[in-house]
Structure 1
Amino acid sequence: MARPLVAAAAWSRPQAAWMLAVTAPGRAQVQARAYAFDAAAAEAGGNAEIDEVDFDPALANMVKLIGTVGGKKDLKVFERSKLLPFAIGIKPNAKQRPEEIEWINVEAWGPLAERADEQLNKGDRVAIEGRLKVDKWEDRMTGQKRTAFKITANSIAKVRSKFGAGGGGGFDQAGEEEAPWDRAAAQEDEWAGSAQRAAPRAGDGAGAGLHTVEELWMDYFEHPDQWWDNRVSKRSPNAPDFKRKEGGRDAPALWLSGRNTPGWVDGELKRLDSAKDLMG
């Protein structure tokens, strides 16, 4: 029997925020409930004051969404980690047209990525809890500054039931000749390519999010022949260790000592170097 993603999401209509039942409840879960807004209690209280809670860094920038899975990307497998990028479509208003669907980019890491790859299919309604992150870069073709939002998932759950015309973040597929996420695929593909238009100093994290750095490292390990390896030949310790061959001075670059360099890079690099040595 396949291991469940996390748990089934529970929805309480009087509450403005749905809560996920996690397998290991702790302080973060208790604190998360303190952050939840109970609409029914607020109405009963009339002019009730807004509650005050303690700051919890574990909950900073945490978001919870319900949406429908669009097309999944390929599962990226590394020696120490796995990554599954995908997108969920949000349609709060059932009267909205398919082209008005908002796509939210999601990435799952490690065992969660593996389970999501095995158990999620396009069209599944899911509840996502994770941390909101922002990527910023300058488009080399237009020179315009671009921004993309994404969620790094901490937990994923399948939603049991539909909530009718009231929304709930998903889609009612009945009577649809063409799935709305297929019509909006161009938006999703645009996000997928945005990581390759990262700032040149992405390896050091200047002006670029973690997503950009990891995508660049993945690109290097998948296509090492398209990158210059400057580890031995660089004249300055501040020079990049790797730089893409295409793009000239503005080509993406990576630093092993960059503050956003993922922890799995060192082991994956040793494996790649060993393979090159064996090939001569």
Structure 2
Amino acid sequence: MWGEMAEISINHLKANDFVYVSGRLGSYVKADKNGNPRISYEVVVKELNYVAQHGENLMHQQHQKLDLQGDDYIERQRNRLHLWQVFFANPYEWRDFRMSKKNPKHPDFKNITTGEALWLDHNDPPWIKRQLQFLDSVLAGQSRGDGDTSPTSFSSLCQ
């Protein structure tokens, strides 16, 4: 990974994270130490997403406890972005309060099982907004059953 993608990875990935990458697969020939040509492959990563694994909720509860014990800002941001990935892996496990918030301190999304909460922020990476727009349009089309995928909130589906 290079440029912005490499910087994001350095700042947000940690050992044993499960990720899905997409991009362009390429190959090239390079001589080994004996001068023999060897084919090597590379993926030029364009998008990177966390993949939820079984037992993920327990891990997030542990991360949340660490945040309350004074972890630094970067660690909290990393955990928050990771929680967004968990959200997108299974949005049906979350309640959507975006359209019904009476108090701005109320979370935008809350996990039904763990109680974990997410708030949208103007500093969020662009992929969060894109994923939400896509999710809203897909779920809105499913709720109407008419194939129309115009963006709306999926709060009625998740509450």
TM-score (norm 1): 0.29
Q: Which structure shows the bigger proportion of residues in helix conformation? A: 2
